[in-house]
Structure 1
Amino acid sequence: MKAIVALVGPQDVTVTAHRPGTDGAAVGVRVGGSLIYINDLDTVQAFHAAWRSGIEQGRTLPTRPDPDLVRPVWGVSEPVVMMSAADVPPSHARLERTPGRPACLWITLGRVVFGVHDQLALRSAAAAFRQADQLAATTFLPEPDLSVRYRAEATVQRLLNAPRRAGPDRATPVAAAAAPSPQRFLRMRSERAR
Structure 2
Amino acid sequence: MENKTTQLVDNTANPAPLGLLGFGMTTVLLNLHNVGLFELDSMILGMGIFYGGLAQVIAGIMEWKKGNTFATTAFTSYGFFWLSFAALAILPKTGLTNAPENASLVSYLVMWGIFTGALFIGTFKISRALQFVFGSLTLLFFLLALGDYTHNMTIGLIAGYVGIICGSSAIYTGVAQVINELYKKVVLPIGPVN
Task: Flag whether TM exceeds 0.5 (same fold).
Answer: no
CA radius of gyration, larger in:
1
Structure 1 length as normaliser, TM-score?
Answer: 0.28
Q: Which of the two has greater helix per residue?
A: 2
Structure 2 length as normaliser, TM-score?
Answer: 0.28
Q: Which of the two has greater strand per residue?
A: 1
